[in-house]
Amino acid sequence: MPRARPGREVAGPASRLDVPARTLARWRERRDQIPARPTRRRWRGHGTRLVRLAAVSGPPVDQPDHDLVLVVDFGAQYAQLIARRVREARVYSEIVPHAHAVEQVRLRRPAAVILSGGPQSVYAPGAPQVDPELFHAGVPVLGICYGFQAMALALGGDVARTGLSEFGRTTVSVGAADGAVPTGSAADGGRLLAGLDGEHRVWMSHGDAVQAAPPGFATLARTAGARVAAFEDVHRGFAGVQWHPEVLHTEHGQQVFEHFLVEIAGCRRTWTMVNIVEEQVEQIRAQVGGGRAICGLSGGVDSAVAAALVQRAIGDRLTCVFVDHGLLRDGEAEQVERDYVAATGVSLEVVDAADRFLDALGGVTDPEDKRRVIGREFIRAFEAAEREVVAAAGAHGEKVGFLVQGTLYPDVVESGGTPGGHGGGPSHGPSHEPSDEPSGAASGAATIKSHHNVGGLPDDLQFTLVEPLRTLFKDEVRRVGEQLGLPDDMVWRQPFPGPGLAIRVIGEVTHERLEILRAADAIARAELTLAGLDRDIWQCPVVLLAEVRSVGVQGDGRTYGHPVVLRPVTSEDAMTADWARLPYEVLERISTRITNEVRAVNRVALDLTSKPPGTIEWE
């Protein structure tokens, strides 16, 4: 797990990082004086089982040399997006709940801290506040929206409800307010907003506003509803903005992050996909040693990339098991058996369990029951194959001691875990794809549905987990897949839920209904690919309303067929999504082909619901 190293040297030319040497030395000295916690061993729950962890304290040992930025989550829907923007600036980041911010700063010794937005007013009873101790830890801090206001209040500024709320796109004016001159340069927005347009559009969402910056801060920008919309104190490494620089609706948002990270905090930009691959391969070799590992391939990109990384690290000592549950899209099972093996050389065991899954799903219509049935049958099928693999290894005097999983960082955040340990992490089976569940980092969020990843880990798990993607977001996983040479159509395939087409058939799952849906889905995916839209949308589920029929006319006859629903969405992390504005001619081709070629379907509908309020998948 990447961490900051005490006493690090800041890379890059001095002209790029114009932070006084005395300031950097003072930050490092104060940070290194934070008392380390004693090393201890503890047991921490992981789903239905316990995994023994060692808590690490003091200077990190044998860790990749990346600076760490901690994103403190105050309940923001965009906390993960902030962390991703930091990584896009090639600096490693993690999310921590606000209640443990100071503890994590002491333990992790980050290079910088970012305070996220949040849904509450800083004056509301019980609203989360910033522990003032955070600002005495010698760590640069950036406040965003709620974090900006909480920072101002903690440091002696004035925050008030002015009656001028701002929501959505807002024009911000960069420059000194009330005659104040920003620290760092004459009147151009200081270090944080240097070089940005004097007026540009940003995304706001606030009712309270900072009326006066804390002592020692320079005001950098203002809007009609916020006389202090940005400020900074470069000498202490503090800065903040009222708007949301992380969302795409904000102009110059990435520049704001990069100015803070590089020009104010002095972070090194070492987080690249090439480094990630090299470091993960080294870590896997160190963890597995001369042992053997087993991995469940789902057909999705996450398990494929995880297995490819482990394969590169330990070669033929990895055996992959692909359980074909008969619920995949057209051609996916064949792609795993043919293309993936050709690209990686992995040893693959295929389990044909389609009939078993269909028999178990007979008569089941409730979506949660479908997930439970599929999870149960997956574990049974996987365990049977696992026993064969373990027995074959044992016959040669070897032991299979490791289980590879494609756990991603959003899985960890949503389940309240941490990238460095398995405690509180996801207890899903070997198939990993994005969830429609809310983030649980800031507090205990309500469960919308069971996680899309199929299965669960048994109580008596005899393996040590290997989770090489545990620190990565989905877009980073795809780039790692490209680095590993996986086929593009596998790396860039649309996210697909672990239960497969079973939760896109609304009603009982039957062989006939799966064939109808599989044919309609194949047409939609083919037309999107032909139109060059594969990387413009997040995914486009096709849903079969199996219990609904509608009257239609085909040829000269009356039909009574099923409707299907197209659900094209755009998203960055599946936590929020918007319906995709596909060209009418593409929609027309999809609809015409489906009703012409899939005889059981006589109506195609389009889902125009964003998330929230609707989830991406219908079930």
The burial of 349, by beta-carbon neighbours within 10 Å (0-12 exposed, 13-18 middle, 19 or more buried), is given as: middle
Catalytic amino acids? 145, 244, 246
- Tokens representing residue 76 in the block: 């923001």
- Report helix angle 511-530 to 584-597, nearest 10: 150
| Interatomic CA distance for residues 286 and 302, integer angstroms | 22
DSSP string, 536-598: TSSB--EEE-TT--EEEEETTEEEEEEEEEE--EE-SSSSSBEE----HHHHHHHHHHHHHH-
Which residue, among 331, 274, 349, has the nearest Cα to 489 in the 3D structure?
331
Phi–psi pair at 479, nearest 5 degrees: -70, -35
- Tokens representing residue 198 in the block: 């004097």
Phi–psi pair at 379, nearest 5 degrees: -60, -40
Phi–psi pair at 513, nearest 5 degrees: -65, -35
| 218-223/226-233 β-pairing | antiparallel
Q: What stretches of 225-348 show up as alpha helix (H) in DSSP?
A: 253-258, 273-288, 301-314, 332-335, 341-344
Q: What stretches of 396-530 show up as alpha helix (H) in DSSP?
A: 409-414, 474-483, 488-491, 511-530
Contact predicate 219/176, CB 8 Å: yes
Q: Using CA atoms in the order 204, 209, 212, 213, what is the torsion angle rounded to 10 degrees?
A: -50
Give CA angle at 193 (171, 204), nearest 5°: 35
| 318-324/292-297 β-pairing | parallel
Which residue, among 342, 276, 325, 338, has the nearest Cα to 478 in the 3D structure?
276
Unique residue bearing structure tokens 């996220």 = 116
| Interatomic CA distance for residues 556 and 515, integer angstroms | 26
| 92-97/68-73 β-pairing | parallel
Q: Using CA atoms in the order 304, 305, 308, 313, what is the torsion angle rounded to 10 degrees?
A: -140
DSSP string, 26-78: HHHHHHHTSPPPPPEEEEEEETTEEEEEEE--SS--S--B--EEEEEESS-TT
- The alpha carbon of 209 is separated from its chain's Cα centroid by a whole number of angstroms, namely 30
**Start-to-end CA span in the chain (Å):** 35
